[in-house]
Structure 1
Amino acid sequence: MSLKTVNTVLATLGALFIFYIGVSYVLIPEATAPSFGLPTWPSGDGGGFLVLKGIRDIVTGLILVVLMVARQRRALGWVMLAEAVIPFGDMTNILVHNGSTAAAFGVHGLTAATMVVVGLLILRETRKARETREAPVSA
Protein backbone atom coordinates (compact mmCIF):
# COMPACT_ATOMS: atom_id res chain seq x y z
CA MET A 1 0.00 0.00 0.00
CA SER A 2 1.43 3.38 -0.97
CA LEU A 3 2.07 6.24 1.43
CA LYS A 4 -0.52 8.29 -0.48
CA THR A 5 -3.19 5.63 0.07
CA VAL A 6 -2.38 5.32 3.78
CA ASN A 7 -2.45 9.10 4.17
CA THR A 8 -5.76 9.34 2.33
CA VAL A 9 -7.33 6.68 4.54
CA LEU A 10 -6.05 8.36 7.72
CA ALA A 11 -7.20 11.82 6.62
CA THR A 12 -10.61 10.45 5.58
CA LEU A 13 -11.08 8.66 8.90
CA GLY A 14 -10.08 11.81 10.77
CA ALA A 15 -12.49 13.97 8.78
CA LEU A 16 -15.36 11.53 9.24
CA PHE A 17 -14.65 11.14 12.95
CA ILE A 18 -14.67 14.86 13.68
CA PHE A 19 -17.75 15.31 11.47
CA TYR A 20 -19.52 12.57 13.47
CA ILE A 21 -18.56 14.20 16.77
CA GLY A 22 -19.89 17.52 15.48
CA VAL A 23 -23.20 16.01 14.41
CA SER A 24 -23.48 14.36 17.84
CA TYR A 25 -23.04 17.72 19.58
CA VAL A 26 -25.71 19.29 17.36
CA LEU A 27 -28.27 16.48 17.67
CA ILE A 28 -27.70 15.15 21.20
CA PRO A 29 -25.45 17.64 23.03
CA GLU A 30 -26.50 16.53 26.52
CA ALA A 31 -25.45 12.94 25.78
CA THR A 32 -22.21 13.87 24.00
CA ALA A 33 -20.92 16.62 26.31
CA PRO A 34 -19.84 14.39 29.24
CA SER A 35 -17.23 12.69 27.04
CA PHE A 36 -15.53 16.05 26.34
CA GLY A 37 -13.76 16.08 29.71
CA LEU A 38 -14.92 19.25 31.47
CA PRO A 39 -16.28 18.88 35.02
CA THR A 40 -19.52 20.87 34.39
CA TRP A 41 -21.71 21.58 31.38
CA PRO A 42 -23.66 24.62 30.26
CA SER A 43 -27.36 24.34 31.00
CA GLY A 44 -30.45 26.30 30.03
CA ASP A 45 -29.63 28.91 27.42
CA GLY A 46 -25.92 28.13 27.87
CA GLY A 47 -26.50 24.73 26.28
CA GLY A 48 -26.33 26.49 22.92
CA PHE A 49 -22.55 26.57 23.32
CA LEU A 50 -22.51 22.79 22.90
CA VAL A 51 -24.22 23.20 19.52
CA LEU A 52 -21.61 25.82 18.59
CA LYS A 53 -18.91 23.25 19.37
CA GLY A 54 -20.73 20.79 17.15
CA ILE A 55 -20.91 23.23 14.26
CA ARG A 56 -17.19 23.98 14.69
CA ASP A 57 -16.41 20.26 14.47
CA ILE A 58 -18.66 19.73 11.44
CA VAL A 59 -16.94 22.56 9.56
CA THR A 60 -13.50 21.26 10.60
CA GLY A 61 -14.32 17.88 9.04
CA LEU A 62 -15.90 19.43 5.94
CA ILE A 63 -12.81 21.53 5.22
CA LEU A 64 -10.70 18.36 5.16
CA VAL A 65 -13.20 16.61 2.88
CA VAL A 66 -13.33 19.57 0.48
CA LEU A 67 -9.53 19.61 0.19
CA MET A 68 -9.45 15.86 -0.47
CA VAL A 69 -12.21 16.05 -3.09
CA ALA A 70 -10.47 19.02 -4.74
CA ARG A 71 -7.23 17.00 -4.74
CA GLN A 72 -5.39 19.74 -2.88
CA ARG A 73 -3.15 17.38 -0.95
CA ARG A 74 -0.46 19.89 0.00
CA ALA A 75 -3.10 22.30 1.32
CA LEU A 76 -4.69 19.34 3.15
CA GLY A 77 -1.42 18.70 4.98
CA TRP A 78 -1.06 22.33 6.02
CA VAL A 79 -4.70 22.60 7.10
CA MET A 80 -4.40 19.43 9.19
CA LEU A 81 -1.43 20.98 10.98
CA ALA A 82 -3.37 24.20 11.56
CA GLU A 83 -6.52 22.39 12.69
CA ALA A 84 -4.49 20.39 15.23
CA VAL A 85 -4.53 23.58 17.31
CA ILE A 86 -8.26 22.98 17.99
CA PRO A 87 -7.93 19.70 19.94
CA PHE A 88 -4.75 21.03 21.57
CA GLY A 89 -6.76 24.05 22.75
CA ASP A 90 -9.54 21.76 23.96
CA MET A 91 -6.99 19.71 25.90
CA THR A 92 -5.52 22.82 27.48
CA ASN A 93 -8.98 24.15 28.36
CA ILE A 94 -9.89 20.89 30.12
CA LEU A 95 -6.65 20.84 32.11
CA VAL A 96 -6.96 24.50 33.15
CA HIS A 97 -10.55 23.95 34.33
CA ASN A 98 -9.76 20.83 36.40
CA GLY A 99 -11.45 18.47 33.99
CA SER A 100 -10.62 14.87 33.23
CA THR A 101 -6.90 14.41 32.62
CA ALA A 102 -7.65 11.13 30.84
CA ALA A 103 -10.02 12.86 28.40
CA ALA A 104 -7.65 15.80 27.97
CA PHE A 105 -4.69 13.67 26.97
CA GLY A 106 -6.40 10.49 25.77
CA VAL A 107 -8.97 12.15 23.52
CA HIS A 108 -7.89 15.69 22.69
CA GLY A 109 -4.12 15.33 23.01
CA LEU A 110 -4.14 12.13 20.99
CA THR A 111 -6.34 13.76 18.35
CA ALA A 112 -3.97 16.73 18.08
CA ALA A 113 -0.92 14.46 17.83
CA THR A 114 -2.59 12.28 15.19
CA MET A 115 -3.53 15.32 13.12
CA VAL A 116 0.06 16.59 13.28
CA VAL A 117 1.47 13.21 12.25
CA VAL A 118 -0.97 12.77 9.34
CA GLY A 119 -0.47 16.38 8.25
CA LEU A 120 3.32 15.91 8.23
CA LEU A 121 3.02 12.60 6.36
CA ILE A 122 0.89 14.27 3.69
CA LEU A 123 3.37 17.14 3.37
CA ARG A 124 6.21 14.61 3.08
CA GLU A 125 4.31 12.67 0.42
CA THR A 126 3.52 15.80 -1.61
CA ARG A 127 7.09 17.08 -1.33
CA LYS A 128 8.45 13.79 -2.67
CA ALA A 129 5.91 13.79 -5.51
CA ARG A 130 6.83 17.37 -6.44
CA GLU A 131 10.56 16.61 -6.33
CA THR A 132 10.02 13.63 -8.61
CA ARG A 133 8.06 15.76 -11.12
CA GLU A 134 10.67 18.52 -11.05
CA ALA A 135 13.71 16.25 -11.30
CA PRO A 136 15.75 16.92 -14.44
CA VAL A 137 15.59 14.19 -17.02
CA SER A 138 19.05 13.06 -18.09
CA ALA A 139 19.61 12.18 -21.71
Structure 2
Amino acid sequence: MSLKKVNTILAVAIVLFTLYLGLSFVLPLGTTFPGLPDWPGDGSGFPVIKGSREIAMGLAMGVLLVTGHRRALGWVLLMMAVAPFGDMVNVLAHHGSAAAAFAVHGLTAALIAVTGALVLRETA
Protein backbone atom coordinates (compact mmCIF):
# COMPACT_ATOMS: atom_id res chain seq x y z
CA MET A 1 0.00 0.00 0.00
CA SER A 2 1.39 3.41 -0.93
CA LEU A 3 2.26 6.10 1.59
CA LYS A 4 -0.37 8.37 0.07
CA LYS A 5 -3.10 5.76 0.59
CA VAL A 6 -2.07 5.13 4.21
CA ASN A 7 -1.96 8.88 4.88
CA THR A 8 -5.39 9.33 3.32
CA ILE A 9 -6.88 6.56 5.47
CA LEU A 10 -5.35 8.08 8.62
CA ALA A 11 -6.52 11.59 7.69
CA VAL A 12 -10.07 10.39 6.93
CA ALA A 13 -10.19 8.57 10.28
CA ILE A 14 -8.99 11.70 12.11
CA VAL A 15 -11.53 13.91 10.31
CA LEU A 16 -14.45 11.55 10.96
CA PHE A 17 -13.56 11.01 14.61
CA THR A 18 -13.09 14.75 15.17
CA LEU A 19 -16.52 15.46 13.67
CA TYR A 20 -18.10 12.65 15.72
CA LEU A 21 -16.48 13.95 18.89
CA GLY A 22 -17.68 17.49 18.20
CA LEU A 23 -21.23 16.36 17.51
CA SER A 24 -21.16 14.24 20.69
CA PHE A 25 -20.51 17.38 22.71
CA VAL A 26 -23.07 19.55 20.91
CA LEU A 27 -25.91 17.04 20.54
CA PRO A 28 -27.37 15.19 23.54
CA LEU A 29 -26.05 11.75 22.61
CA GLY A 30 -25.49 10.74 26.23
CA THR A 31 -21.84 9.95 25.57
CA THR A 32 -19.08 10.43 28.13
CA PHE A 33 -15.38 10.33 27.43
CA PRO A 34 -12.39 9.22 29.54
CA GLY A 35 -10.69 12.05 31.37
CA LEU A 36 -13.96 13.95 31.69
CA PRO A 37 -16.01 11.90 34.16
CA ASP A 38 -18.70 14.49 34.89
CA TRP A 39 -20.19 16.96 32.45
CA PRO A 40 -20.45 20.46 33.88
CA GLY A 41 -24.09 20.66 34.95
CA ASP A 42 -24.28 24.34 35.78
CA GLY A 43 -25.21 25.45 32.27
CA SER A 44 -21.65 26.64 31.70
CA GLY A 45 -21.76 26.00 27.96
CA PHE A 46 -18.57 23.93 28.15
CA PRO A 47 -19.87 21.09 25.95
CA VAL A 48 -21.02 23.46 23.21
CA ILE A 49 -17.74 25.38 23.20
CA LYS A 50 -15.66 22.20 23.07
CA GLY A 51 -17.97 20.67 20.47
CA SER A 52 -17.85 23.75 18.26
CA ARG A 53 -14.06 23.70 18.38
CA GLU A 54 -13.95 20.02 17.38
CA ILE A 55 -16.44 20.51 14.54
CA ALA A 56 -14.49 23.50 13.18
CA MET A 57 -11.24 21.50 13.31
CA GLY A 58 -12.84 18.52 11.55
CA LEU A 59 -14.33 20.71 8.83
CA ALA A 60 -11.01 22.50 8.21
CA MET A 61 -9.14 19.22 7.83
CA GLY A 62 -11.97 17.69 5.78
CA VAL A 63 -12.09 20.55 3.29
CA LEU A 64 -8.34 20.31 2.68
CA LEU A 65 -8.56 16.55 2.29
CA VAL A 66 -11.49 16.66 -0.14
CA THR A 67 -10.00 19.45 -2.25
CA GLY A 68 -6.65 17.67 -2.52
CA HIS A 69 -4.51 20.32 -0.85
CA ARG A 70 -2.20 17.71 0.67
CA ARG A 71 0.64 20.01 1.76
CA ALA A 72 -1.75 22.40 3.50
CA LEU A 73 -3.47 19.38 5.08
CA GLY A 74 -0.14 18.25 6.53
CA TRP A 75 0.50 21.65 8.10
CA VAL A 76 -3.05 21.90 9.44
CA LEU A 77 -2.81 18.41 10.95
CA LEU A 78 0.39 19.43 12.73
CA MET A 79 -1.34 22.57 13.99
CA MET A 80 -4.45 20.65 15.08
CA ALA A 81 -2.32 18.32 17.23
CA VAL A 82 -2.00 21.24 19.64
CA ALA A 83 -5.68 20.95 20.66
CA PRO A 84 -5.57 17.44 22.16
CA PHE A 85 -2.18 18.28 23.70
CA GLY A 86 -3.82 21.29 25.35
CA ASP A 87 -6.68 19.07 26.52
CA MET A 88 -4.11 16.71 28.07
CA VAL A 89 -2.47 19.59 29.92
CA ASN A 90 -5.89 20.85 31.03
CA VAL A 91 -6.90 17.43 32.43
CA LEU A 92 -3.58 17.17 34.30
CA ALA A 93 -3.80 20.75 35.61
CA HIS A 94 -7.27 20.10 37.02
CA HIS A 95 -6.22 16.89 38.77
CA GLY A 96 -7.90 14.58 36.27
CA SER A 97 -6.74 11.06 35.60
CA ALA A 98 -3.14 11.08 34.39
CA ALA A 99 -3.71 7.75 32.67
CA ALA A 100 -6.66 9.14 30.72
CA ALA A 101 -4.81 12.37 29.95
CA PHE A 102 -1.81 10.59 28.46
CA ALA A 103 -3.62 7.59 26.96
CA VAL A 104 -6.48 9.51 25.35
CA HIS A 105 -5.34 13.07 24.70
CA GLY A 106 -1.59 12.47 24.51
CA LEU A 107 -1.88 9.57 22.08
CA THR A 108 -4.43 11.48 20.02
CA ALA A 109 -2.05 14.44 19.74
CA ALA A 110 0.78 12.11 18.75
CA LEU A 111 -1.33 10.32 16.11
CA ILE A 112 -2.45 13.61 14.55
CA ALA A 113 1.10 15.01 14.57
CA VAL A 114 2.57 11.84 13.03
CA THR A 115 -0.13 11.84 10.35
CA GLY A 116 0.63 15.49 9.58
CA ALA A 117 4.35 14.75 9.34
CA LEU A 118 3.70 11.78 7.04
CA VAL A 119 1.51 13.89 4.75
CA LEU A 120 4.22 16.56 4.62
CA ARG A 121 6.83 13.90 3.85
CA GLU A 122 4.63 12.54 1.08
CA THR A 123 4.35 15.98 -0.53
CA ALA A 124 8.02 16.93 -0.18
Q: What TM-score range do you get, normalising by the shorter chain?
A: over 0.9
Match of residue 9 from structure 1 = 9
Q: Distance in 2 between matches of 1:117 and 1:82?
A: 11
Residue among 44, 47, 52 paired with 1:55: 52
Provide runs of 4+ in structure 1 moved above 3 Å: 38-41
Which runs of 5 or more structure 2 residues have no equivalent in the other structure?
none
Is 2:66 aligned against 1:69?
A: yes
Is 2:19 aligned against 1:22?
A: no
Q: Is the 8 A contact 1:80 1:118 kept in 2?
A: yes
What is the aligned-residue identity percentage? 58
Larger % of helix: which? 1
Match of residue 117 from structure 1 = 114
Deviation at 1:44, TM superposition (A): 2.6
* Structural RMSD (CA): 1.4
Amino acid in structure 2 at the alignment position of 1:74: R
- Highest Rg: 1 or 2? 1
Q: Is the 8 A contact 1:35 1:103 kept in 2?
A: no
Q: Is the 8 A contact 1:39 1:98 kept in 2?
A: no
Deviation at 1:38, TM superposition (A): 3.8
Q: TM-score, normalised by structure 2?
A: 0.93
Instruction: Give the secondary structure class of the aligned counterpart of 1:44.
Output: coil
Q: Distance in 2 between matches of 1:83 and 1:76?
A: 10
Deviation at 1:102, TM superposition (A): 1.9
Deviation per CA, 1:27-60: give whole Å up to 9, x if none.
Answer: 127x33x4251465422321x2111111111111
